[in-house]
Every structure is written in C-alpha cells, then in structure tokens.
Structure 1
C-alpha cells in the first residue's frame, strides 16, 4: 500500500483526480492499519479543468511511489505529454503498480503498459483507444480491469469503483466497505458499463421517423414487427431500414430491442414487479426471453441489476 502518487499535467480531468484524492488521502475512522501517504506529482503548476494546481513534487518522484494513479485525460485527440508518459513508464519499471482512471488509459497505452493486456476506458472512447493502440485488448463493457500491476477503469463513477478495488486489495473488503459507506456509494457494483449507457430517441423533430419512434416507444408491450413499423410509417420495409440506419445507426429490430431493454431497466429500478411482469410490460413475452436478452445487452441478469440499483438507492437516500 504505502505511497500513492497522483500524476498530473495540463488537461487532466478534475473529477477523477478528486475521486482518487478523496479515497486515498482520507483514512476511514476506526482503521488501525497505516493509511496511504498521498502526493501530487506534476511538471509544474498545472491546469486541471478550470482550476490551477501546484503539485507537491515533480514527475521524477513517480518511480518512488508504490501506486501511481493517472486521472482522466481531457483531450484524447492529442498525444499525452511525453514527460508524463516517460515518468509513468519509469514508475512501472521501478515496480509501482499503475492505475488509470477513465481516459487516463491513453497515457498508459502511450507508455506501452497496456500492450498485450486487456484494458478499458470510458465507453465513448473505447473504439479510439483500440484504433490508436491495436496491441491493446480493449474491453468496452467492464467497469475496470485488474491486470495485476496495471489497472484501468471506465469513466467517471467507475474511477471510484477501481479506487475502492485497490483499497480492497490492500486492506480487505471490510475496510473498503467502510470507505464506500463514508462516500455513500455501493462497495461493489456488478456488471459492466453497458448497464449505464443509454440510447435515447433522437431529439431532432425533422427526421423521417420523428412520429414513428415515439409511437413505437408507447407500444413496447406489444409484439411489434418491422412490417408493423413500416406500415405505420407508410413506407416499405427496405426503405424503413435505410431510414433507421441513417437516424439511429442501427436496424429497426435492434432499435426495438434496445428500447425494450431500457424500459425494463426503468421498471426494475422503480417498481417491485416480478421479472415475468416486466417481461410482459416490455413485449418480451416470458421471463426467460427477457433474462437472455437483458444479460447479453446489459451484462448482468435482471435480478442482479435490480439489487444493484436498489442497494444504491437505499444507501443514498
């Protein structure tokens, strides 16, 4: 456990930096074991979001830390600073475990630490990470990846999941749970980031499907087919498919399935209806069918999803 160094430079995201500092810099009440010593390392006074930050030490201090945390990197279209990349690589070579939060994975990838490894980042940037670093096995769904000495997390709240995981590795589940209670968050979330990614109905009102999509959403409890949608839109099924690709980026059937899953998520979060009742309400027919599609799409079964959100709600209200 020992020392935790937060590696910062211009363009870091302040949320992820704050999350790491909050977890590692404040010892939970009642924990007898020594807590982490936290230091902020950067090349100079840096800009983090709208704030200016004066680091405690230069980047040359990173190799002396036990754990190095690289917060989210704001401009993923630009290569991260070479001095940061070199310092993170040197820290790993010196034996530090290195963890990235959100798009901090781009820094680790540039340092070569993710080559041949499974890794993740915010779902909105997973394709870019895979394209720019083809030797990295990018997993777009998981909340975080434990690679032994190299760790990566998905976006925003998943940064907290990974930080709690590191505490769990160092101090055990009971202490990690204590930290989670202090932060008023679930100590562990099942599933992957797909369960938190929405696919909203387009907001423009001038596209060819402007009237059809809301109509379909209001009838998700019915066994709608492509032919039903085409008939309602007064166009051929082939023509409908082309419009769906243009407007939603997917097929009519896949769009319908996505809307049914989203509706099922809402019902699981807000009602006590049985899985059978939810399946009927979203047009899935049976609980077996819902469980199969839900698990494949969201990454966890409906019952697990409900428990996760119920636990979060009871702990935060």
Structure 2
C-alpha cells in the first residue's frame, strides 16, 4: 500500500515539475564581474545557433556558444546601463542580420549593434532611460522607432530618422510593436481618463492612431513564424495582417510573458504566475505549469524566458538572479 501511495504521489507531482531540474549557468560569471544594481538583467537566444547573450548591469553583454558552460564579453560591448523589461533585449527577429537592439534604463541611450565585432551606434540622448524600443526590422536603418520612457507615466517616444531625433507622442501608453516603415500598434493603458485601455494602430508613422482591439496588454508582444502574438486579459491574441485585426487564440491564466516559440509554429511556451506552460497546438490548450526555480522566489514583472530550439532548452531568469537552464527530455 505504501509503494502505491508513493507512486501516486510521483504522478500527481509530475505536472508541477521539480525546481531542481533548472540548472544555474552564471554563478562564476556573476562572481567574476562586479555588476551594478540589478546584476543579471537580460537574456536572449540566437535561435539558429543556440548562442546565448546576457546583459550584466553596468558590465555590458556576454555571450556563450556552449549553452552557458563558458562566457566571454561581446567584442565592442555596448555602452553601460541595464536592460529591464523582459524581451527588450532583441536580436533581429527576421533572422536575416546579426543586429541587436539594446534599450537601457539608468545608463546609455538606446544602442544598436551586432552579435559580432561591429561597432555600436548610440541613439540620441532623448532615448536614455527607456523600458523598451520597438523597431522596423525590415529597414536596415531602423528609421521608424517607438520607445517608452521609464517611470514617466507611459510617455511614448517616436523617431522617424533611425534615432537621430525623437519626439514624444504623449503619456498613457504601454507595450508596442512596429511592423513596417509606417505601421505600428501601441497599448493604451487603463487610466482615469481612459478606463477601457485597448490597442491602437497607426499606418502613418505615428501621426494618427485608431482603435483596433479592446484588450490591454502589459507585456511586450512577440513575433512568431505565423504572426505577432500578445498576452492580454487572460488570453493569447494574434494578428496576421500587421495589427489590423486580432483573434483570440486561446485562454492563458495569469500570463506574464511570451509566447516564446518552440521548434515549430504550434509549440509555444508562456511564463505565467505559477510557472512555464507549454502548448502543442498553437496556444489553444496548455499543459500543467513547470515550476520556476525556488531561488527565484516566484515570478515577477522582471522575469525573462527564452528557448533554444537547437538543444530543446528553456532559459529563465529574474533581474538580479542567476540564469537557469532546463533541458527538456532529461
């Protein structure tokens, strides 16, 4: 009878997973580098190679080509500061160039560089102290940019000249995505003057905006192989027509960040308040959550998630924590 109870306990515990399956990868790196406030503050995976990039506060970018076994500073590392909003440290999502976009709080203005040894371009000083930057990745010069000023009541910045100058589009904004030289979507956060929130869209580079959705995202959108996805209001939403229309893909309880895309369009991972959930049907249904490492002490607004399809590995961190890896199937 005791053996049966033990077996049942194992089955019941399996969906929640064991935090011990997450392995820390940055213990030696963080001990070696004397970081500023925030410590480890960003991660992004180069999906074609599995190469890791992490941002260390006031120390710059470091990279690993062996899944975190060893780390080296990115040559011509960008100006100092720290990334903060999950997903703001971006590699070119088209996969066509090695460009890397790095918005910083408490440091340099937005920096644009590459994953290799090329120089970094620092944008106008008006773009200092921002949470994130959305760019027209179809343009080699990234002329159309949107950025959100940090702790400034949702002040949205716009550039039409690749960051040489910025103007402000007013307060009350949230996460955004730029589709092309003229088209973007932006969250209107819920306020006393705008109690419904929602998403607005521009087709003239930010001169005018029109409502397109009544959900109100709090996390950055994510571009996938078949559209742009957004977590909001207990669900996952997707557009396939540059933000003109949005369809609810499926429910996601307490979604915090994602989706992070797996090996194909149907495999998605989302960070929720109770752990990482996985979908195998494009977001219609979700498996039980995988618990985050106990050392993270739960999930916060500064918890990051990414995935390496070359090794089937999930990466997870919170600003100030270790970087953790969970290689699936082990």
Alignment TM-score, normalising by the size of structure 1: 0.29
Point out which structure has higher relative CO (alpha carbons under 8 A, 6+ apart). Answer: 2
TM-score (norm 2): 0.28
